[in-house]
Structure 1
């Protein structure tokens, strides 16, 4: 079945809250007023709490006590707020599928997202936006989550095959007729995320082979490889002898520079709960 047709036939696609959609549109306005953003944020108590918590967290570099939404908006800035609002909206859109560890899923997604942002800041990718990279990482596996919600039985079959050593993409194609990254890209499009983010999700497995090579997809590709090193407690130099090495080279990521700042990665997860709770 074609991916778009499958989405159209789904009875209940996860939806992003209206206030989140409005805020994301506001962020695209170069003349948006911080007061307007603060006022709209305060319409949603959950978003208000997240903004204040993040403004006071080390994850966003908070160094003083922030008690008002207006001050938090000024401190965090538009890019960080866009990330927080997008993250809050995406997380809120999903209920936990039966037998699925939703919190573990989001912690992994946020870790990959944090690694995407870190790679932009520590690499030579000055033309890329660190917060857009973060959102690409956040969305990278959302198709997997959606398919567990819509077709849990067949996805459990996929998971069992992957656990036994089968490649995920080929297994999904054989069992489902499409891949979870295709579903994730279509869902991101359904939510009206920018094309660059949709393409990052779809092309993450082979970013250099896409019709238009996607650097954001490349970041996700490398960030996923870095995440495996983190959870396996392996040194960064393994990245440059892994299957992700050609993509890292294409993105001009330098081993010496990344190794110099590798200790920063351990701190990425410290405030993930601020985005999850």
Structure 2
């Protein structure tokens, strides 16, 4: 099987709203007219309502109720609004996937996105918005696999669950490619910035394609901290296992290891976008 075989099943691909595609394609455009984007967001009622619900939650702690996207833009800034719209659009891209608990899948993706944003703020080599978006889509290839080839996806899950193979090896053995490669192919199909697709493909092994890409490295670190949160790992063990070579390649200072206690309590208030 090849990644193109998954992408040919167009009826099974995630259905991402046009406004989300526009926002992601504009990530690398410094001349983008964000006022126009704000207006477009207002016209998508489903996304607007979800975004406003989060804006008015304790997550942002605003002193008064916000009733419009324009108000949200003024108070939060277009960049923060943009990340909320992207998160909301992706979380609504599919309604049911065999073998995946979607609430858990998106909660996990949102936390990786927040962690990638947290690391990106601490390095000059990575844009925070792009890091956030990369976090949301970092596992989109697995979603695609379960949608387009559910039987094979189930076999892979069994191998991993029974500790007979790691996920990457199981995917390569049964598919001939990894879900990260499938994710990049999907990013390319959607015409998203090449840097996003590259980070999705190489975030698990950022040194495997020559000089490491800082965005891939930030995503790798976000996934590491997310795994530590999931397993409730002790802070000393988190620091001990922290991939320092990846951190250095991401442009982070050596002192970042002493800030990891803050990363472990990164807020996951975006979960309200899932429901």
Taking structure 2 as the reference length, the TM-score comes to: 0.88
2:162 corresponds to which of 161, 164, 180: 164
* 1:206-257 superposed Cα distances (whole Å, 9 cap, x missing partner): 1123245211111111111111211222234434433733212333445644
1:251 matched to 2:262: no
Structure 2: runs of 5+ lacking an equivalent: none
Distance in structure 2 (CA, Å) of the matches to 1:206 and 1:66: 42
Is the alpha carbon distance of 1:258 and 1:81 closer, same or farther for their aligned partners in structure 2, counting shifts above 3 Å?
farther
Distance in structure 2 (CA, Å) of the matches to 1:103 and 1:162: 21
Shift of 1:92: 1.8
Is the alpha carbon distance of 1:276 and 1:44 closer, same or farther for their aligned partners in structure 2, counting shifts above 3 Å?
same
- Tell whether the 8 Å contact from 1:239 to 1:245 is kept in structure 2 after alignment: no
Structure 1: runs of 5+ lacking an equivalent: none
The secondary structure found in structure 2 opposite 1:159 is helix
Distance in structure 2 (CA, Å) of the matches to 1:249 and 1:21: 32
Distance in structure 2 (CA, Å) of the matches to 1:26 and 1:38: 13
* 1:128-154 superposed Cα distances (whole Å, 9 cap, x missing partner): 111211111111111111111111111
* 1:54-109 superposed Cα distances (whole Å, 9 cap, x missing partner): 33345456454322221111222222222122222222222321242111011111
- Tell whether the 8 Å contact from 2:54 to 2:272 is kept in structure 1 after alignment: yes
Counterpart in 1 of 2:65? 65
Q: Which runs of 4+ in 1 moved over 6 A?
A: none
- Tell whether the 8 Å contact from 2:34 to 2:78 is kept in structure 1 after alignment: no
Distance in structure 2 (CA, Å) of the matches to 1:253 and 1:151: 39
Distance in structure 2 (CA, Å) of the matches to 1:229 and 1:57: 27
Shift of 1:260: 3.7
- Tell whether the 8 Å contact from 2:134 to 2:200 is kept in structure 1 after alignment: yes
Is the alpha carbon distance of 1:267 and 1:25 closer, same or farther for their aligned partners in structure 2, counting shifts above 3 Å?
closer
* Alpha-carbon RMSD: 2.5
1:187 matched to 2:186: yes
Q: Write the mapping of 1:36-115 to structure 2, written as runs, cut at 5 A.
A: 36-60=36-60, 62-115=62-115
- Tell whether the 8 Å contact from 2:212 to 2:249 is kept in structure 1 after alignment: no
Taking structure 1 as the reference length, the TM-score comes to: 0.87
Q: Write the mapping of 1:6-21 to structure 2, written as runs, cut at 5 A.
A: 6-9=6-9, 11-21=11-21
Distance in structure 2 (CA, Å) of the matches to 1:22 and 1:257: 34
Counterpart in 2 of 1:127? 125
Is the alpha carbon distance of 1:135 and 1:38 closer, same or farther for their aligned partners in structure 2, counting shifts above 3 Å?
closer
- Tell whether the 8 Å contact from 1:56 to 1:63 is kept in structure 2 after alignment: no
The secondary structure found in structure 2 opposite 1:209 is coil
Aligned pair count reads: 273
Distance in structure 2 (CA, Å) of the matches to 1:63 and 1:267: 22
